[in-house]
Amino acid sequence: MTLLIPEPPRDIEAQLLATIDVDHPKRACFCVPADQYLIPASIDAYVTRRPEGTLVTLHKRLAEAFERSADDTTMAWILGYPEPKPVIAERCQGMDASRARVVQARDAEGNVITEATASPWGFLETCDALESHVPDGGQLAILLPFEAISRRVAMRWVQR
């Protein structure tokens, strides 16, 4: 796994709610160690902890896959991302910061339910995959990677 930036508390709450909603397409929520305190002890789901972070899912096979590995390719599969990070890096020819895009499915309050990075070649597929994660009143947001990270940092500061 690569850079692990904590997420705003309301984003994690929205992600957990989507993860445990059997009618929502979100299959799992990954929390970095700094966000683990946001996972309720009473959550009715598989909660799997590793040094890299914690995975919450309703699917036993996803929890078992995370127990075995948390590499970028496995995490992309678990979290339902169309492209794993190594493929994005290759397709962006090492220029991820300028060529990649971050696609976010946000709820009506602007909380990020699902976020995936895409190369120019995987952009439309990623938008299509995440569109089903957007609830009524929500939106699909497209950002540069530094904008997504900046939002996380700023929102964590605001929501603390």
Model confidence over 15-38: pLDDT tens digits? 999 999 999 999 999 999 999 999
Percent over 70 (pLDDT), the chain: 98
* Residue 2: pLDDT band with limits 50, 70, 90: low
Q: Mean pLDDT, to the nearest integer, of 141-148? A: 96
Q: DSSP character for 33?
A: G
Confidence of residue 96 (pLDDT cuts 50, 70, 90): confident
What is the rounded CA–CA span in Å between residue 116 and residue 132? Answer: 13
Segments of 9-158 assigned E as strands: 28-31, 46-50, 53-57, 101-106, 112-118, 139-143
Q: Label residue 1 by pLDDT band (50, 70, 90).
A: very low
What is the percent of the chain where pLDDT is above 90? 91
pLDDT tens-digit profile of 44-90? 999 999 999 999 999 999 999 999 999 999 999 999 999 999 999 99
Domain boundaries defined on the chain: 9-158
pLDDT tens-place string over residues 107-136? 999 999 999 999 999 999 999 999 999 999
